[in-house]
Structure 1
Amino acid sequence: MINKKVKSKNNFFWIYAVILAIFLGIFFLKSSFYNPKKINQDYFFKIFIKGDVKKIIIKHRELVLVYLKKENLSYTDRINPFINRKKIMTNSFQYEFEIGDLQFFQRKFEEYKKKYHLNTIIDFKNQQEYTITKFFFDYGIFLILLIIFWVFIFRKIGATGGGPGGQIFNIGKSRARLFDESDNIKITFKDVAGLEGAKEEVQEIVEFLKSPKKYTKLGGKIPKGALLIGAPGTGKTLLAKAVAGEAKVPFFSLSGSDFVEMFVGVGASRVRDLFEKAKDKSPCIIFIDEIDAIGRARGKSSIAGSNDERENTLNQLLTEMDGFGTHTNVIVLAATNRSDILDKALLRPGRFDRTILVDPPELNERKEIFQVHLKKLILSKKVDIDFLARQTPGFSGADIANICNESALIAARKNRSQIENKDFLDAIDRIIGGLEKKNKIIKPNEKKRIAYHEAGHAMISWLLEHAAPLVKVTIVPRGKSLGSAWYLPEERQLTTPEQMKDEICALLAGRSAEEIIFNSISTGALNDLEKVTKQAQSMVVIFGLNEKIGNISYYDSTGQNEFTFSKPYSEKTAQIIDEEISKIINEQYKRAKNILKNNEKKLSLLANKLLEKEVLFREDLKNIFGERSFSC
């Protein structure tokens, strides 16, 4: 059945194409045959005195139309297959020209006519000669082409807008996909690892719809909506899929961009249609993914005086969610990673009563996510899930799923029958640092500088108390970096100035090592300097961790500074901020140099081992420095 439908659509397409080609051909042929040649008066009187002119018509006292006799018609005119020859001889003029003085022309015409004994007819036409029949004959083909073209375009637009028959009137219909009990949705809350707090609130929403009397008998009201907020990949859409799998009520799913269209009023029409369908299916759930596509705060970055289709769509959504006659069991779920730009009217109680934060998973939650994704993989018995969870701080659920998939691909590439721990570490390296480039040509002196640079990072991170301990360091090029080191950062909710300074010191250790060993520095510390500058700037400007600036933060959580060109502090304060940032960085740079100079032999030993093996692990640093001690 599907193949027949596709075939019939293709047949209709070719029929339209052939019809358009035929009409275009006729139109252009007709226009080419009916284009008279423009001449001047001198040329006219030359052919006039030869007796070739049958008749002339003077229109509006300024334009002369010249009709030639039958025997003087061009060969092309005589063999024209589309126009009757008799009609050409009687109705078609071959030349035209303009005259200045009508009396002078008429007098000269009469003189030549009498002198050469000619019977040429002269006529005058000052009224409008177009009739409805003639207008349709001249422009009818073009109008037919235009109508066919627009019918074809509207059919295509209607087809993309949904609805039977692909009619243009369906463009205002909602594009939401409906899931009900007949759909086999296999994702449930058991498939959503971690996110326990978010799952509890979402499960409660499902319970609201299943047994509303349990909550309303005490006088409570069912929430109108819940907004899922979180970074990309944290599981917002997965939660919504689980709701669709768990709920025994109809579930409408669509994206915020599905409301947006180039035609004015379409977005608002689709919102109305969506809620009308939802009310018919009540109780039900509407899920709008990426709601920031239509929910952006009104008045920002819009052209003054313009009719913003997105704002019209948002206004209609606000009305449907909390307007007159909205006492129905329809709950709206929405997801976004840009909650800071959403309109305040959308976030108020009565519309989105609940805001559910979907944070990146913690250590135990990452372990649960690994267990879900590792079920389908063939693993070695030595694979340590706890170790993998510790190696992925800050990773989202999507990142962990990608790591599991990459590890399987790496193991298959190496012709292994099982996935090992090393494959997971290689997958993490691949995702964080990029593809390994062992064939990249590096000069020996550059390779030595890279080794000392990375050894400096590894050494300082091992010796400082608050710096993240090393997991792996390598001088094999990967992605855009010539060398890299992986650390195991401590998962903490609060950070002190001492911890931030230790991190800055560890980042500056690479350049410090270069200066100590080679008495010069290179451009290899670009990424380190960028991180250091942002870290020091956040200490002074955002977190109020600087004594000279004091307990002041210039951070704007509302995002209003994005739309202004002025700084929230004076020029004098800006100068102090610059000085304090430079002071923090210079102090930690000197500190890193002092630590490295005091341990220069161990630094050289570590760098030489790195040159020899290219990759060193935590155990290698233990052999050189012993267990971590924090005397620095």
Structure 2
Amino acid sequence: MSKDNKLNNKKPKFSPYWIYGIIIVIFLGIQVLSGGMGSASGTATTQDKFFEYLENGDVEKLVIINRIQARVYLTAEAAASTEHKKTVKPQLLPISEKAPNYQFQLGDLQNFEDKIDEIKAENAEFNTVIDYKIEENLWGDFLLTLLPFILIIGVWIFIMRRMSSGGGGGAGGQIFNIGKSKAKLFDQNTEVKTSFKDVAGLEGAKEEVQEIVDFLKNPEKYTSLGGKIPKGALLVGPPGTGKTLLAKAVAGEAKVPFFSLSGSDFVEMFVGVGASRVRDLFKQAKEKSPAIIFIDEIDAIGRARGKANFSGSNDERENTLNQLLTEMDGFGTNTNVIVLAATNRADVLDKALMRAGRFDRQIFVDLPDVRERKEIFEVHLKPLKKAKDLNTDFLSKQTPGFSGADIANVCNEAALIAARKGKKHVEKQDFLDAVDRIVGGLEKKNKIITPEEKKAVAYHEAGHATISWLLEHAAPLVKVTIVPRGRSLGAAWYLPEERLIVRPEQMLDEMCAALGGRAAEKVVFDKISTGALSDLEKVTKQARAMVTIYGLSDKVGNITYYDSSGQNEYGFTKPYSEQTAELIDKEISDIIEEQYQRAIKILEENKDKLTLLAEELLEKEVIFKDNLELIFGKSPFVKHDEDITEEE
């Protein structure tokens, strides 16, 4: 039976185009048989030759067709003669009517008839039969009449097929599929290589997402105790922390249909398209349930309603959101359909979307800590040809505040740097250079800078280094350089301690170290410059946060004007009075000025060491913490031993 089935499979499949081809062949055959074979064309001749044959009595019959063409039939004796023998053609089919010997086109019919009358008058034995016929090609006329209708019906069938077919269907089909969902489907037939093993760190987030996958695989384990499948899970976190990667791992592990699309895929210029696509998406998911829907960047359609619609017109985005809310928790039942969504702007999402019953779980995907960064490095180092002595602990401590995407970029940049230098392995220094490149920008050794400017930059950076070395809570220094990098003329790298809570004295010490550059210029040159712009920006933000956010100011008190929902950004009024605004401004200014004077005092007390450090920096251009130990001695405070780089 299996062989027979194989033979049957090899037979050509029936196609409706065969029928179209057969009908066309039949029409052509009828056209040829009716129009050509019955009255086959004779040999072409001229009117003068014809009149010669007519005068000689060789013409038996003359048939004038539609008053424009003449067909000449010769007598049997004339046709058998040598002159006319070639005009006799064999009959292919048994047709009653004999084929003409000659044919020619008439000019003026009246002149032609007058000429025949003359010959007839001169020749008493004239017995040629003259006949007139009107020939019509019925099939040809019939086809010409039907042709417009055939074309209209064909175009209509084509359009209906394109409208009924699913998916985008290319550029020509998009206009008819504009209300269809653009979600990509991943199922057992689609190979998704990403799994939970490829997601390093994110242990808490992975555990919650794995539980959702396990629910779809073994629902009885949970429903036997009366539990219900969660409607949705929202992945929230800073950019680059691995939200989309986690969703890819779900697609690879779930073994159920996985619909993936972006929030912007619902947005279109036509009214009602977004809501239509939401309906179509959930319809497809219900048909393939159990299934998972993943909407990346859901804030594109999930923003809070009624905030920016001042025109009073129809808001297409709100209609799309309303349809999404209805599909996720309405009268319709979504059996075993789970919605995953990702965003880094959860504060702008609509409250109705965030409530339990729609997104039952909010999974916070935070920046990785030291241990998680080590795991992420191990994942991204696998494809690299790295040196054997490369320490992943060292690399993880080199990158505080880096996200998973940043770490992937560091690994790739290190490989490119090693290849540029012609190395066969990626070494520790390549990773350090990659971090410097990403954090500070590309070195610009050929940038034109005057000796006076270079000296000012050296003292500026030496001031940062001196204060950070002498203060207890300032971030310890790792490296200082006066080589222009990116937009800065100099840079200092520090080891920031990864704290969960920060005390006022720690913030004040960091502000004092940031102001050390401008203080050094004041102490040494008794002049200040514009080189402290980034330092002032950082310090001002810290001081404002102390006063208005964290309530660390004695004069303002234990009050915060921070709004975690982000709605105050759209308001036109401040949440405090003008008198309080003056108090806040004065308090910020007092905090910054106090730390500036403190930095000046420290540098005046250590001016000789500051000068030594600046001169060494001018000579070597790059110095490390070992050089500071030679000048200042061991740090009076306990510092970390690891070298972590981050630009201040």
- The one of 595, 598, 623 aligned to 2:630: 623
> Structure 2 length normalisation: TM-score?
0.72
Provide the residue aligned with 2:23 in structure 1: none
TM-fit CA distance, 1:463: 1.2
- The separation in 2 between residues aligned to 1:164 and 1:626, in whole angstroms, is 71
Provide the residue aligned with 1:118 in structure 2: none
- The one of 476, 500, 503 aligned to 2:507: 500
SS in 1 for 2:439: helix
- The separation in 2 between residues aligned to 1:302 and 1:487, in whole angstroms, is 47
Given residue 565 of structure 1, which amino acid in structure 2 is its aligned partner? F
Mapped pair 1:263 → 2:257: no
Contact persistence 2:167–2:177 (CA under 8 A) = no
Structure 2 vs 1, CA of residues 613 and 295 (structure 1 numbering), >3 Å: closer, same or farther?
same
Contact persistence 2:440–2:486 (CA under 8 A) = yes
Given residue 177 of structure 1, which amino acid in structure 2 is its aligned partner? K
Mapped pair 1:175 → 2:182: yes
SS in 2 for 1:252: strand
TM-fit CA distance, 1:386: 1.2
Provide the residue aligned with 1:344 in structure 2: 351
Structure 2 vs 1, CA of residues 437 and 163 (structure 1 numbering), >3 Å: closer, same or farther?
closer
Provide the residue aligned with 1:187 in structure 2: 194
- The separation in 1 between residues aligned to 2:572 and 2:279, in whole angstroms, is 39
Amino-acid identity (%): 74
Provide the residue aligned with 1:332 in structure 2: 339
Provide the residue aligned with 1:249 in structure 2: 256
- The separation in 2 between residues aligned to 1:480 and 1:615, in whole angstroms, is 18
Contact persistence 1:545–1:551 (CA under 8 A) = yes
- The one of 304, 307, 323 aligned to 1:316: 323
- The one of 609, 612, 623 aligned to 2:616: 609
Given residue 384 of structure 2, which amino acid in structure 1 is its aligned partner? L
- The one of 456, 468, 487 aligned to 2:475: 468
Contact persistence 1:437–1:479 (CA under 8 A) = yes
TM-fit CA distance, 1:303: 3.0
- The separation in 1 between residues aligned to 2:540 and 2:255, in whole angstroms, is 53
SS in 2 for 1:170: coil
Contact persistence 2:384–2:415 (CA under 8 A) = yes
Provide the residue aligned with 1:408 in structure 2: 415
Aligned counterparts, 1:12-411, within 5 A: 161-162=168-169, 166=173, 168-411=175-418
> Structure 1 length normalisation: TM-score?
0.74
- The one of 567, 570, 582 aligned to 2:574: 567
Which is higher, the Rg of structure 1 or of structure 2? Answer: 2
TM-fit CA distance, 1:558: 1.5
Task: Using the TM superposition, name which of 227-236 and 616-625 deviates more.
Answer: 616-625
Given residue 350 of structure 1, which amino acid in structure 2 is its aligned partner? G
Mapped pair 1:426 → 2:433: yes
- The separation in 1 between residues aligned to 2:359 and 2:536, in whole angstroms, is 43
Given residue 453 of structure 2, which amino acid in structure 1 is its aligned partner? E
Contact persistence 1:161–1:172 (CA under 8 A) = no
Contact persistence 2:551–2:557 (CA under 8 A) = yes
- The separation in 1 between residues aligned to 2:579 and 2:273, in whole angstroms, is 52
SS in 1 for 2:226: coil
Contact persistence 1:163–1:170 (CA under 8 A) = no
Given residue 382 of structure 2, which amino acid in structure 1 is its aligned partner? K
Given residue 470 of structure 1, which amino acid in structure 2 is its aligned partner? L
Contact persistence 1:298–1:343 (CA under 8 A) = yes
Write out per-residue CA displacement over residues 92-114 of structure 1, whole angstroms, 9 at most, x where no aligned residue: xxxxxxxxxxxxxxxxxxxxxxx
Structure 2: give runs of 5+ residues left out of the alignment: 1-154, 639-648
- The one of 513, 535, 540 aligned to 2:542: 535
- The separation in 2 between residues aligned to 1:577 and 1:373, in whole angstroms, is 47
- The separation in 1 between residues aligned to 2:351 and 2:184, in whole angstroms, is 28
- The separation in 2 between residues aligned to 1:386 and 1:461, in whole angstroms, is 25
TM-fit CA distance, 1:627: 1.9
TM-fit CA distance, 1:500: 0.4
Structure 2 vs 1, CA of residues 163 and 206 (structure 1 numbering), >3 Å: closer, same or farther?
farther
TM-fit CA distance, 1:626: 2.0
Provide the residue aligned with 1:106 in structure 2: none
TM-fit CA distance, 1:161: 4.1
Contact persistence 1:159–1:166 (CA under 8 A) = no
Runs of 4+ in 1 over 6 A off after TM superposition: none
RMSD over equivalenced CA pairs, Å: 2.0
Write out per-residue CA displacement over residues 375-400 of structure 1, whole angstroms, 9 at most, x where no aligned residue: 11111233221111111111000000
- The separation in 2 between residues aligned to 1:430 and 1:413, in whole angstroms, is 14
Provide the residue aligned with 2:494 in structure 1: 487
Mapped pair 1:598 → 2:605: yes
Provide the residue aligned with 1:138 in structure 2: none
- The separation in 2 between residues aligned to 1:195 and 1:167, in whole angstroms, is 39
Structure 1: give runs of 5+ residues left out of the alignment: 1-147
- The separation in 2 between residues aligned to 1:160 and 1:376, in whole angstroms, is 36
Provide the residue aligned with 1:436 in structure 2: 443
Structure 2 vs 1, CA of residues 165 and 453 (structure 1 numbering), >3 Å: closer, same or farther?
closer
- The separation in 1 between residues aligned to 2:218 and 2:175, in whole angstroms, is 41
Contact persistence 2:390–2:427 (CA under 8 A) = yes
Structure 2 vs 1, CA of residues 588 and 222 (structure 1 numbering), >3 Å: closer, same or farther?
same
Write out per-residue CA displacement over residues 180-211 of structure 1, whole angstroms, 9 at most, x where no aligned residue: 01111111000000000000000000011111
TM-fit CA distance, 1:337: 0.4
- The one of 458, 464, 468 aligned to 1:457: 464
TM-fit CA distance, 1:327: 4.1
